Amino acid sequence: MRIFGVAISVLGLFTQKHADAASRPSGVAPPGKVPHRQPRRAGRRSVPTPTFARRPCPLGRHLAAVQDGAVFLDGRRVSGGRAVHVIVPPTWRADGGALAWIERDEGVTRLQVLPDLYPETRPLSFALPPGVGSDLVHWSSPTKVVLGPHVLAPRAVASWSDG
């Protein structure tokens, strides 16, 4: 009988504790306690973007760099206007005349391709399917980029026409 009485009192404490929690709105901590997690409505946190090593082009004429969520070519910013999370650093085409990288912004992963190095050229943007973002970037032709562990094992392919 005593064991049964102890079980009832423990059950009573358990029930009372959950009843108190159920009476509070979601995401509100009990008085005097700090919540362990912030609700989903909390502001967007900035994701630290790694700074990759500067990469000279194969011919040594140009230099690509990633700093503070932006891609730079010869000191000029070539990526969009705001900071993003660069997942795969810029990869040069074999002739050094184009650049491609993978970035993530607001949950969308994109392949960015700078098809030539003229100052007025803007990167081409290709949205990627889920699970492709961490693959390597390989140039298979002047207007074709392959994403995957190897150029002969593609998970995604992006191509465009000049002109």
- Distance from C-alpha of 30 to C-alpha of 21, rounded to nearest angstrom: 8
According to the model, what pLDDT value does residue 47 have?
Answer: 47
Enter the DSSP assignment of 24: S
Mean pLDDT of 122-127: 93
- Distance from C-alpha of 52 to C-alpha of 18, rounded to nearest angstrom: 49
According to the model, what pLDDT value does residue 80 have?
Answer: 78
Identity (one letter) of the amino acid at 76? R
Tens digit of pLDDT for each residue in 7-42?
Answer: 443 334 444 444 555 555 555 556 666 555 555 555
Handedness of CA 52, 85, 163, 129 (dihedral sign): positive
Strand 63-67: give its sheet, edge to edge.
55-56, 63-67, 70-73, 76-77
Which position has the token pair 């003229």?
A: 118
Tens digit of pLDDT for each residue in 154-163?
Answer: 999 999 998 6
Alpha helices in the chain (DSSP H): 2-23
Map residue 8 onto helix, strand or coil: helix
- Distance from C-alpha of 27 to C-alpha of 34, rounded to nearest angstrom: 10
Return mean pLDDT, the chain. 78
Tens digit of pLDDT for each residue in 95-110?
Answer: 999 999 999 988 899 9
Alpha helices in 24-141 (DSSP H): none
pTM for this one? 0.67
- Distance from C-alpha of 118 to C-alpha of 58, rounded to nearest angstrom: 17
